[in-house]
């Protein structure tokens, strides 16, 4: 018995020595896409009681997740042939959960900012967009188009003595405050943000608000809310840091290069038009939640 224990001890020491010299760790477990999101950020992600062709089950729950992020997750799962696990995690806990290993991806409408890049890595954007405004067609200047966008100064003049609105908790709401309602010499009101983009779009449609800023795919999708709505195209005027807020990326733990490369290669196959379609569909569904 002692001899067997001694041999086992020697084997353990030998294995430990091999681990020190060659490394025994196989790296992070990327066999599944374990995704963290808050399930409360329409149209990127939200929770629902009803399963559908668009949803994925939330781990440890009887509920399901839907939204643009879920559409991207479903695409990645199919393209990479990896199972997806959706974990509902509070926004402020997403990065800690990634670094602790509870999840291996943050797919939650998160932008790659300088501050976040200090603690985690990011993929290429899975949605990169220009800023646009949703407005009643009758209020859009004649000739406005992607090739003839409105300047920032002209936008200030157009919005003067009117109110702007957006969805709560998104970059568009900050843009109203930072670039329009706080500008001296203009009377541009900042209406209280609403829970979803479709609700804000209806506010514009009925004339309670004059315009709604958002990523171009979102604005284009919201024109389907009412036939009287259209897109106001504007010149780029945001600072570089604020421009980052219009792009969203997948968060990856630092050093998980295998997963980041796989995700980037997969995202490269997804056309911008397809991304826009998926966002448009998600935006429409987010306005019809009744549970």
What structural domains does the chain harbor?
32-128+247-286 (3.40.190.10), 131-243 (3.40.190.10)
Q: Nearest Cα to 113, choosing from 249, 254, 276?
A: 249
Element (H, E) at 225: none
Nearest to 179 by CA among 151, 205, 220: 151
Instruction: Count the neighbouring beta carbons within 10 Å of the beta carbon of residue 17.
Output: 10
Q: What percent of the chain has pLDDT over 90?
A: 66
Summary mean pLDDT of the chain: 88
pLDDT of 18 higher than 50: no
Distance CA(128)–CA(279), nearest Å, equals: 12
- Please give the angle made by the CA atoms of 175, 179 and 180, to the nearest 5 degrees: 100
- DSSP per-residue codes, 178-206: IIIIT-TT---EEPPPBSSHHHHHHHHHT
Q: What are phi and psi of 99, to 5 degrees?
A: -70, -25
Q: Which helix (H) or strand (E) holds 41?
A: strand 40-41
- Please say whether the beta carbons of 215 and 246 come within 8 A: yes
Which pLDDT score, from 0 to 100, does residue 283 have? 79
- Tokens read off for 119: 């603690």
Can you tell me the mean pLDDT for 67-77?
Answer: 97
Token representation of residue 53: 């062709």
Indicate the pLDDT class of residue 193, thresholds 50, 70 and 90: very high
Helix (H) or strand (E) holding 95: helix 94-100
Query: Virtual CA dihedral for 115, 167, 217, 45, nearest 10 degrees?
Result: 70
The 3-state DSSP class for residue 171 equals helix
Q: Angle between the 272-286 and 68-80 helix axes, to the nearest 10 degrees? A: 130
Residue with the bigger pLDDT between 284 and 5: it is 284
The three-state secondary structure class of 273 is helix
Q: How confident is the model at residue 171 (pLDDT cuts 50, 70, 90)?
A: confident
pLDDT in tens, 258-276: 999 999 999 999 998 899 8
Compute the distance between CA of residue 122 and CA of residue 146 in angstroms, rounded to an integer.
Answer: 29
Write down the pLDDT at residue 129. 82
**Helix H or strand E encompassing 91:** none
- What is the predicted pLDDT for the residue at 27? 58
Reference 188, options 152, 165, 151, 162; nearest CA is: 162
Q: Span 174-191, mean pLDDT?
A: 97
Q: Is the pLDDT of residue 48 over 60?
A: yes
| C-beta of residue 82 within 8 angstroms of C-beta of residue 33 | yes
Cβ atoms 86, 35 nearer than 8 A: yes
Give me the residue label for tokens 């939204």: 67
Q: Do 106 and 95 meet the contact criterion of CB atoms below 8 Å apart?
A: yes
């Amino acid at each position: 018995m002692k001899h067997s224990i001694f041999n086992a001890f020697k084997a353990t020491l030998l294995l430990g020595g091999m681990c020190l010299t060659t490394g025994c760790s196989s790296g992070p477990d990327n066999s599944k896409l374990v995704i963290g999101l808050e399930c409360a950020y329409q149209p990127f992600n939200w929770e629902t009681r009803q399963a559908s062709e668009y949803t994925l089950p939330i781990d440890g729950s009887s509920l399901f997740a839907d939204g643009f992020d879920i559409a991207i997750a479903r695409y990645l799962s199919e393209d990479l042939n990896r199972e997806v696990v959706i974990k509902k995690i509070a926004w402020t806990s997403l990065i800690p959960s990634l670094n602790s290993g509870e999840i291996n991806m943050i797919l939650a409408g998160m932008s790659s900012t300088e501050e976040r890049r200090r603690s985690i890595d990011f993929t290429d954007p899975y949605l990169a967009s220009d800023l646009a405004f949703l407005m009643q067609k009758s209020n859009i200047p004649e000739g406005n188009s992607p090739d003839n966008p409105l300047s920032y100064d002209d936008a200030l003049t157009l919005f003067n003595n009117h109110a702007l609105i957006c969805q709560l908790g998104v970059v568009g709401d900050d843009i109203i405050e930072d670039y329009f309602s706080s500008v001296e010499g203009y009377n541009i009101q900042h209406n209280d943000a609403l829970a979803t983009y479709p609700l804000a779009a209806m506010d514009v449609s009925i004339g309670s608000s004059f315009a709604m800023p958002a990523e171009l795919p979102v604005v284009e999708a919201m024109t389907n809310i009412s036939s009287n709505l259209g897109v106001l195209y504007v010149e780029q005027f945001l600072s570089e840091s604020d421009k980052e807020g219009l792009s969203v990326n997948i968060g990856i733990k630092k050093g998980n290069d295998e997963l980041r490369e796989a995700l980037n290669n997969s995202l490269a196959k997804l056309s911008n038009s397809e991304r826009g379609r998926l966002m448009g569909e998600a935006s429409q569904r987010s306005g019809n939640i009744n549970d």
